Chains A and B, each alone.
Chain A
Amino acid sequence: MGICLPNPGEAHINGVIVPEEKAYEEAAKQFLMAKVPTLFPGPLVLWAWNEKAAKKATAIRHLYNTLKECVQPGQTPMLIPMPDYRPKYPKINPEVEINPNHPNLTIWHNKIDCCMFIGVHCHQANLSLKIIRGGTSCYTIAMCAQAGHEDAMLSFRDASVEKIMKLADAVKRLKGSVKPRLTSAKHGA
């Protein structure tokens, strides 16, 4: 049996459907525990297609700033873009960008142990999440604007500015409540 996607107002954590409120808490804890908690904004928010996209970008920057304020010394939040989906063969700089065709390179290079995708089209997000799950031990979160991602370990659905801000609030609220994992996991991540 596969993973059921959440209904509106719900999320999933490791394939188990939960009320969305629980997912905010869990995602915030995962960020606060990670050595390198990272946000991966995709083309839908990096490019100012319309006002909504620009507002989401502002909210993502706020979430990133919140992470920086709330982590402890030794934890390094990152904000790494996925500007488009070209395979960028033969060379990509995994330090400064992530590519859906080989996202593991960015995870390994920056030793990322918790990441959140936002503003990435479904197919490319699924591809990236699968590759990350298959080749690293990074915890994956999807702030999905559609029905959620079965390939993420934790997935929200119907992403909006409000939901991103709510996640930032949860991070603030839970600051100091969990112990950061200050050694990185096995595969660089």
Chain B
Amino acid sequence: MAVSTNYELKMGPATRESFGKALVELGKTNPNIVVCDADLSKSTNTNFFAKEFPERFFQCGIAEANMVAVGSGLSAAGKVAFVSSFSAFVLNKGFEQLRVTAAYPNVNLKVVGTHSGISIGEDGPSQMSIEDLSLACNLPGFTVLSPADDASMKAAIHLAAEHKGPVFVRAGRVKTPLIYPEGTPFRIGGSHELLTGGDLAILANGLLVAEAIKAAVQLDSEGISARVIDLYSIKPIDREAIDRAARECGAIVVAEEHLKDTGIGARVAQVAAETTPCIMEFVGIDNTYAESGTPEAVVEKYGLLAKDIAAAARKALARKK
């Protein structure tokens, strides 16, 4: 189902801001929600919650591994704990803790990594997370969500809070175009077909969803009809939608702000191999760390724009013939 056929892509807030606001909403109705942050609350926007509910906010200092396990303890004791930091720090520094204190005992911990991908720009590779979705998917039992805009991030945070079990949600630093009207339904394991099309399907998540829409518009002007799917639920992934795209289009492009080799492309390929094998091309970060620059310059240099998706689509179509 196409949510809309005409996307204005008006600029909206950064998904970290949507996350911060959703936490406050949740805090109002659910007294069990508690939040931990590691000296980045001004950046992750958990400071909104801290201001509103200071007694339910725990400042952990610059100590992410400890924060993750403290969050697990809070959740094991009946709270719904959200722990947040830059994605690069909470997942990389906290990975062993996520594995042993949250995933393995199936603890109801919610992890939100902000400043994901390379679109943080100026800070450079030490703060860029290009492997976070892969790491999170390497935690059995974890639900992994990567929303694209304001409405989908707010929905994801509510889904995370309602779901029983560990969840990772990926958020970004930069402002993001609006894709969904407020109130659009989302579900764990779901996806949204944003544009119908039959020549090929572009599957994207996060920041690259808007780029995929722009690429489809470009391709349309060349007489190519591209289906665009927002794979906001990374795990579980929407096998049905992938199978249908493979069957009906015969070619798939996966676009993501993540290392290409270990990202969602590989997961989509696995599903296609198990259901309907088809031609595939991949847009992502190619086995490298990026560098400092403005967000615009960095995503352009590392090939994450609509033009890169369109080029991959043409390549896929050429192979299909």
Q: Do A and B come from one complex?
A: no
